[in-house]
Homo-oligomer: A and B are copies of this chain.
């Protein structure tokens, strides 16, 4: 097991086999040393979690949990891009987080911190990324959060 696998075990985080997209796209594409992931959603054990609009039926706390699940699914895609060896992650470059909020909602950063914190917990300084947190007008199957990533690997 690698250093990052050890760290994940310490944190009690299990990285699932990444979900295979059900349409004509992929969970990640590598170009040069950059991996671009598809937008990841709060999918856990094959079930979509945290559906609904934040500030209406979903709380900031629940949406933060949703962001953590997105982060786990990003790591799952990147793990596959690294042939299973997360020690090959050189840098989490960018996260863009979309929050399905009511108009006027303003706590997107607090929610996306759920994903940012996890990246730094798991990858240390290599997990420190540039980030955008924005409000979506709506999200696939009314999920509350979707996050995409650019990651540099070796």
Q: Which residues of A95-154 are within 8 A (CB) of B?
A: 95-96, 98-109, 113, 116-117, 119-120, 127-143, 146, 148, 150, 152
Q: How many residues of A contact B (CB 8 A)?
A: 61
Contact of A133 among B33, B39, B104 (CB under 8 A): B39
Task: Assess A27 versus B109: contact at CB under 8 Å? Given A135-B139, A138-B102.
Answer: no
A104 touching B38 by the CB < 8 A rule? Answer: no
Known: A24-B113, A106-B140. 14 other contacts (CB 8 A): A24-B120, A25-B129, A31-B91, A38-B131, A39-B96, A39-B131, A53-B104, A105-B142, A106-B138, A106-B139, A132-B148, A134-B139, A135-B136, A136-B136
